[in-house]
């Protein structure tokens, strides 16, 4: 008489291929067995037939000939700006912003266009391997609704801006809005972790920065701010406040380990000390920064100082895509040239930035960023059977120097397969494209398709 | 009684979509009609039903919802180095070269591995929109055979090197080899235009440089040379010859309008004057240059001086792919940042560099580089129905800032369809990958697939 052990039903089993777990303990696992249930990774190890027999999966993904890695984390986006993708390029930054982007935002951005743009942007991100992003834009609740509808993980930031196309109201009103946003988005979906953002030191009043940061602290929410993006910003802050942006924010008391500083292109060594002391998180957006000729953060130095640095695409109006593989390629290459040293920003370091480093920057590393039991099942598969990925000596090298977003074949977010063999399962891509084409037609510039 | 006009049979008709002709006369043509016969473009204009009725095509390509443009021109490759893709990254340049690449070349490079690597490299190039490249490597006849077999347009350069892994013989022997190579490859295929290459000023004797250039002049062949790639090269030339590389080559008399200088990263303003006076052609390889921390050519200045600059990927061991879309993206972005000016290297300028500018750099612009009657039918189609290419306000902007090689759907070289809907028609990609995987296994490093 044999003992029949109970077989447990689980949501998903992934088997085969090569897993880059991004967990220091497990490293690279050949022919892994990954068991997923109720959104989480239950088990991840080299294949074990006895273990596999204990589970009956509702769905399976074969990763044979594929690379498995944690879903990529985009630490900085303005998703609805896909509506302005390529509308105005190769222009002086201030003309781009003031003559093109701000007027277009004032005229065409509303809840509906934000939702439609967000759906298209999420389609693009899933198709290029991203499973989480941190976004800030107008009508951010519409962005969050798009994420929930698509099964995509999002940190939506309610944004505050005292200057620009749509300035906010008085301080009491702003604080109400901040609390209401956090209240509204805590609960409806585990995919959504709401946060707050002030646009920048030069576009928000000091009292706004302090009040919004205070609420973020009280509510244990991330506080995002653009910081030292351009030389002009540094000059403006210096002339108005008598010091540099990082020092100004430190004086206001808004820098800490729950602050995500985006860009940090123009910072001196004293400011790096401040960022390190305050444990500020950094979002590095090389493609957008280069395209706008804004500047580039001293990332190798920031990493040496132990700062958490993630990658971001910024909005599609200044990138012009949301593919983190491009950011990996440029981040790895640019800093080598800048430092005159091909050993900095090696492929492993850059893969960390795109995965668990990004999760740390967003303070989500307890939940995502690596393939480990207990973490959410946010995973992507890459198809390696392609000429440009052949042969393979080093999978990290392939990710950073040879692959592109279109090599991602499958995507799982919170245990749910959102893309299988490049087919999106939660978004009607054709409809999403047609909606944004219609918006583009109302914007009234030439569109060829 | 009606007059029935004769209907002419032609090889191929392409209709619909949007054509970027890259011809100053025609610019962008909506819904074009492109008629191809015997390898050449017979007609290209906005669609004209009367015109279309005069031809009966053997094959058709619908470009509806697609962008049509000239096939991309890669001005600098070492195709067989795909065998070493990702074998040794993130290393100091001299260690990469001397401890890894040179020993691997000495041990594993032969006619068979060169042929197998070239087939895989050509597959990768066609899949990413390239239809022509200029290559230099050992056993270059094997590279040329691979191009003929694949229907790919190639300038194979017979290379000369007096130092390095496989030094050439004496001068008389080298001159015989040069003439024999040109003789051999003039004639067998219109796809092949043979040329000569000396590796560099610091690896070839002065007499070799002069002798090979003399033959190139007599035979009206392109002469390719790596030039001022690294600071170390400049120092070595200076210490051995008492002057800088460009001045040294000028003194030797090898610079003229049939010289393709690759890299030109470390050149002073006097050297730019020399390059401009001699009408030297330039190959700019930003991804490889950055990855090796080699340096970057002052491209905006070179263009202002009227020099012809094309883009190149360099070999896959230092890139690590052969996708010119990556070069376009980085070339456009990097120089904006470097110059602190987002208006330099605009999307149109960079698209020119990847097409007709590259053709000019290779002295092939009478034959390829734009969609014009009389030129060879080297064309690619891009599928625009993708989230990351939606909406479209400006096709040049999409090519440079948003697209990747995988968006190329179809490719025609010399009037022959070599890829249709991403399926290669002249190469068995699976077999090509398997051959190179087998080579990688003999190289004996870890390969996961």
**Structural domains in chain A plus CATH codes:** 8-70+371-424 (2.30.40.10), 72-361 (3.20.20.140)
DSSP assignment of A86-106: TSS-SS-HHHIIIIIIHHHHH
Name which of A86, A90, A394 is nearest B402 (Cβ-Cβ).
A86
Are residues B293 and A120, on separate chains, in Cβ contact within 8 Å?
no
Q: How many Å separate Cα B344 from the centre of its chain?
A: 23
B313 to chain A: which residues are within 8 Å by CB? Answer: none
Q: Is the pLDDT of residue A133 over 70?
A: yes
What residues in A contact B96, CB-CB < 8 Å?
Answer: 342
Helix, strand or coil for residue B346? Answer: coil
3-class DSSP state of B50: helix
In chain A, residues with a C-beta closer than 8 Å to the C-beta of B341 are 92, 293
A393 to B446: CB separation less than 8 angstroms, yes or no: yes
Q: Is the pLDDT of residue A28 over 70?
A: yes
* Predicted pLDDT at B448: 39
| ipTM of this complex prediction, to 2 decimal places | 0.96
Say yes or no for a CB contact (<8 Å) between B388 and A127: yes
For residues A386 and A378, the answer to whether their CB atoms sit within 8 Å is: no
Distances (CA, A) of A416 to A39, A194, A358: 7, 21, 21
Residue of B86, B293, B323 with shortest CB distance to A336: B293
Beta bridge partners of B271: none
Contacts of A316 in chain B (CB under 8 A): 402
Q: Give the pLDDT score at A447.
A: 39
Interface probe, candidates B29, B342, B385, B443, chain A, greatest A C-beta count within 10 A = B342
Q: What is the mean pLDDT of the segment spanning A380-409?
A: 97
Bridge partners, A56 (sequence order): A9
Do residues A281 and A360 make contact, with C-beta atoms less than 8 angstroms apart?
yes
Decide if A10 contacts A35 (C-beta within 8 A): yes
pLDDT over 50 at A5, yes or no = yes
Spatial CA neighbour of A117 closest among A76, A80, A156, A78? A80
Per-residue pLDDT band at A385 (split at 50, 70, 90): very high
A152 touching chain B per CB within 8 A: no
> B40-46 and B32-37 as β-strands: parallel, antiparallel, unpaired?
antiparallel
* A chain contacts of residue B289, beta-carbon cutoff 8 Å: 337
Laid out side by side, the sheet with A423-424 consists of: A28-30, A18-20, A66-70, A379-383, A408-413, A416-420, A423-424
| Residue A172: DSSP 8-state | H
For residue B130, the distance in angstroms to the closest alpha carbon of chain A comes to 13
Nearest to B90 among A82, A347, A388 (CB): A347
DSSP β-bridge partners for residue B284: B311
Structure tokens at A149: 């509808």
> Residues 9 to 38 of B: which have CB under 8 A from any A CB?
18, 30
- Cβ atoms of B382 and B408 within 8 Å: the answer is yes
pLDDT of residue B164: 64
Strands B28-30, B18-20: pairing kind: antiparallel
Contact B408, B127 (CB under 8 A): yes
A283/A293 Cα distance (integer angstroms): 17
H-helix or E-strand spanning residue A282? strand A281-284
Tens of pLDDT along A174-228?
Answer: 999 999 999 999 989 999 999 999 999 999 999 999 999 999 999 999 999 999 9
Residues of chain A with pLDDT > 70, as a percent, come to 96
- In this complex, the residue of A326, A394, A436 whose CB is nearest that of residue B86 is A394
The residue with tokens 């509303």 is: A110
Among B292, B393, B446, beta carbon nearest to A445? B393
How far is it, in rounded angstroms, from Cα A336 to Cα A338? 6
Cβ-defined contact of A343 to B92 (cutoff 8 Å): yes
B residues 77-106 lying closer than 8 A (beta carbon) to A: 82-83, 85-87, 89-93, 96
Chain A, 283 to 342: residues with Cβ < 8 Å from chain B are 287, 289-296, 316, 319-323, 326, 329-330, 332-334, 336-337, 339-342
- What are A180's two structure tokens? 């209401």
Chain B residues with CB-CB distance to A323 below 8 A: 388, 404
Helix (H, G, I), strand (E, B) or coil at A134: strand
A402: tokens are: 């040879």
Average pLDDT of the residues in A69-80: 98
**A155: pLDDT strictly greater than 80:** yes
Name the residue among A65, A86, A391 with its Cβ closest to that of B436.
A391
CA B337 – CA B345 distance, rounded (Å): 11
What average pLDDT does the segment A26-50 reach?
96
Q: Backbone phi, then psi, for B58, in 5-degree steps?
A: -75, -35
Question: Using the beta-carbon criterion (under 8 Å), do A397 and B433 form an inter-chain contact?
Answer: no
Helix, strand, or coil (residue A288): helix
Spatial distance between the Cα atoms of A333 and A117, rounded to a whole number of angstroms: 31
What pLDDT shows up at residue B166?
60
* Pairs of CB atoms within 8 A across A/B: 242
Which distant-in-sequence residues (6+ apart) come within 8 Å of B438 by Cβ?
A: none
Rounded CA-CA distance B337/B63 in Å is 36
∠ CA A75-A79-A80 to the nearest 5 degrees? 160
For chain B, list residues with pLDDT below 70.
1-5, 164-168, 445-449
A392 → closest Cβ in B340, B432, B448: B448
Q: Provide, as residue numbers in chain A, all residues whose Cβ is less than 8 Å from the Cβ of B294.
A: 337
> Omega before B170 cis (within 30°)?
no
β-bridge pairing A8-15 and A18-20:
unpaired
Please judge whether A337 and B293 are an interchain contact, meaning their C-beta atoms are less than 8 angstroms apart: yes
User: H or E segment at B159?
Assistant: strand B153-160
Check: CB of residue A208 under 8 Å from CB of residue A162.
Answer: yes
Q: Which of the four pLDDT bands, split at 50, 70 and 90, describes residue A165? A: low
Report strand pairing: B416-420 vs B408-413: antiparallel
**What is the chain B residue with the closest CA to A401?**
B320
Q: pLDDT at position A449, please?
A: 36
Q: Are B317 and B84 in contact (CB under 8 A)?
A: yes
Given CB atoms, is B447 within the 8 Å cutoff of chain A? Answer: yes
Nearest CB partner across the interface for A343, out of B91, B405, B433: B91
B120 touches chain A (CB under 8 A): yes
Of A120, A292, A404, the CB nearest to B404: A404
3 state SS of B233: helix
Residue B393 and residue A432: Cβ atoms within 8 Å?
no
Q: Which of B388, B402, B408, B426 to mutate to test the interface with A (most CBs of A within 10 A)?
A: B388
CA pair distance B205, B167, nearest whole angstrom: 11
Q: Which of residues 380-419 of A touch B (CB under 8 A)?
A: 384-388, 390-395, 397-398, 401-402, 404-407
**In 3-state terms, what secondary structure has residue A19?**
strand
Question: How far is residue A287's CA from residue A321's CA, in Å, rounded to a whole number?
Answer: 9
Contact A321 B402 (CB under 8 A): yes
**Neighbouring-strand partners of residue B29:** B19
Max CA distance (Å), chain B: 86
CB distance A153 to A414 below 8 Å: yes
Query: Half-sphere exposure (CA, 13 Å, Cβ side) for B285?
Result: 35
The total of other beta-carbon atoms located within 10 Å of residue A64's CB is 12
CA distances (Å), B71 to each of A48, B222, B228, B380, in order? 49, 21, 29, 5
């Amino acid at each position: 008489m044999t003992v029949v052990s109970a077989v447990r039903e689980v949501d998903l089993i992934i088997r085969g291929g090569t897993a880059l777990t991004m967990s220091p303990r497990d490293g690279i696992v050949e022919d892994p067995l990954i068991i997923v249930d109720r959104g989480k990774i239950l088990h991840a190890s080299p294949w074990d037939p006895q273990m596999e027999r204990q589970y009956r999966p509702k769905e399976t993904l074969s990763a044979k000939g594929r690379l498995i890695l944690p879903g990529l984390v985009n630490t900085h986006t303005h998703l609805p700006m896909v509506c302005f993708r390529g509308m105005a390029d190769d222009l002086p930054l201030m003309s781009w912003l003031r003559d093109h982007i701000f007027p277009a935002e004032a005229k065409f951005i509303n809840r509906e266009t934000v939702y439609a743009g967000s759906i298209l942007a999420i389609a693009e991100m899933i198709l290029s391997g991203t499973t989480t992003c941190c976004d800030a834009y107008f009508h951010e609740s519409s962005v969050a609704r798009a994420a929930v509808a698509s099964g995509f993980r999002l940190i939506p930031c309610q944004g505050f801006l005292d200057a620009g196309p749509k300035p906010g109201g008085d301080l009491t009103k702003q604080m109400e809005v901040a609390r209401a946003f956090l209240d509204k988005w805590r609960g409806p979906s585990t995919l959504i972790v709401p946060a707050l953002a002030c646009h920048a030191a030069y576009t928000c009043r000091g009292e706004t920065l302090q009040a919004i940061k205070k609420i973020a602290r009280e509510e244990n929410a991330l506080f995002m701010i653009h910081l030292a993006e351009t030389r002009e910003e540094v000059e403006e802050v210096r002339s108005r406040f008598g010091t540099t942006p990082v020092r100004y924010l430190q004086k206001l008391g808004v820098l800490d380990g729950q602050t995500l500083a985006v860009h940090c292109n123009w910072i001196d060594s004293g400011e790096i000390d401040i960022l390190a002391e305050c444990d500020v998180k950094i979002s590095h957006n090389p493609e957008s920064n280069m395209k706008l000729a804004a500047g580039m953060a001293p990332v190798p130095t920031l990493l040496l100082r132990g700062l958490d640095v993630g990658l971001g695409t910024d909005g599609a109006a200044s990138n012009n895509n949301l593919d983190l593989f491009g950011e990996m390629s440029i981040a790895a290459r640019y800093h080598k040239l800048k430092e005159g040293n091909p050993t900095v920003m090696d492929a492993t370091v850059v893969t960390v930035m795109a995965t668990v480093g990004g999760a740390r920057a967003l303070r989500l590393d307890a939940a995502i960023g690596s393939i480990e039991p207990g973490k959410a099942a946010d995973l992507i598969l890459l198809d390696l059977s392609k000429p440009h990925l052949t042969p393979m000596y080093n999978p990290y090298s392939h990710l950073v120097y040879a692959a592109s977003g279109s090599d991602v074949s499958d995507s799982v977010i919170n245990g749910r397969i959102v893309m299988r063999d490049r087919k999106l399962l939660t978004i009607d891509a054709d409809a999403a494209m047609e909606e944004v084409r219609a918006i583009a037609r109302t914007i009234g510039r030439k569109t060829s398709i």
